[in-house]
Amino acid sequence: MIEKPDMLDFSLEEVEQAVQRLGQPGYRAKQILKWLHKGVSHFDEMTDLPQAFRQSLNEQFQIGRIQILERHHSNTGDAIKYLFLLSDHNIIECVVMRYKYGNTLCLSTQVGCRMGCRFCASTINGLVRNLSAGEMMSQVIEVNRELEENGERRIGNLVLMGTGEPLDNYSNTVKFIKMVHYPMGINMSYRNITLSTCGLAPRMIELADEGLPVTLSVSLHAPNDKLRRFIMPAASVYPIIDVIEASRYYYEKTGRRITFEYILIKDLNDRKEHAEELAELIKGFPSHVNIIPANEVSGLDFRRSPERTIQRFIRELESRGVVVTRRRELGLDIEGACGQLRRSRLTGRRNQRYER
């Protein structure tokens, strides 16, 4: 049996083409997208469409859904971790982070990851497959639905920083970013979207040329190639100077200040000379460094730097004119870091699938 195309994967242009093939006017596409992004599960729920047209949609298309498998609330109430079951029985995760200014969703772009960063739980079992644009959209839709049912605010900011490297799934990621921006749907401002990358320099340049002014967050985690290649094997492909130049190009094309992520790992990248080298590396264009105390992951040897070392590192950067923030740590008690909950669920299984 051939599976029907999932309309949640469709861009506005693709929905318009489908509508016109069914003999309907083009404006029906915006009506359909409004319903899809509101979270309907069946075409029959689209009550402003003609009944015969709804029947045609049912015959030719489906509305893919992901299922909430687990949810974990942090003890402090500042985070919710979701584990989702996909239609092929793979599982992914995302996190809602509650801030005073609103709710942020950190979502996944791949099932697993192949970048190999040594500190990250997401990459331990490798890459299984890319997520479609519709599967990324479904994470937003399902979380919004649950938040609204509980009387909470919808998601106001998106961070593509969950499981996976967004730029390794480039076409689906860019398609999703455009889709979530549709005024008739989620209507997310590009400026409220952050994309995190471990530094795929050619893709960073390609993204700059897309004309989508999302915030780019670049994972450096080391101030030189030797150390960075040890921490992040993917860095062997793109020298750090290429990553910096791609970051500079992104700023010049979009006007968006670059965020450089830097995980502090005890006795590895947290010394005074590392701070000095980092400050020298990134000078010359608007950026800031986001310091992240390492999350300690079972099975990995890396440990977070002591608090006094973290504070000293921040002071060293600030003394050299670097704008520094420290990431607020949310959801530590619910395995909030990328890939931790999914890995816990998969521990002991022979493959990457969750079987009900």
Task: Please tell me the distance from the alpha carbon of residue 217 to that of residue 243, in angstroms, as a whole number.
Answer: 12
Q: Which of 93, 135, 165, 335 is catalytic?
A: 93
Residue 273 exposure: Cα atoms within 13 Å on the Cβ side? 4
Give CA–CA dist 1/64, Å, rounded: 16
120 given a catalytic annotation: no
User: Which of the residues 106, 113, 117, 338 is marked catalytic?
Assistant: 338
Task: State which amino acid sits at residue 318.
Answer: E
The secondary structure of 239-287, three-state, reads CHHHHHHHHHHHHHHHCCCEEEEEEEECCCCCCHHHHHHHHHHHCCCCE
Query: Are the C-beta atoms of residues 298 and 339 closer than 8 Å to each other?
Result: no
Tokens, residue 162: 């969950």
Tell me the torsion sign for CA atoms 132, 134, 137, 141: negative
Helix (H) or strand (E) holding 72: strand 67-73
- Judge whether 93 counts as a catalytic residue: yes
DSSP E strands in 125-201: the ranges are 127-130, 155-160, 193-197
Residues belonging to the active site? 93, 338
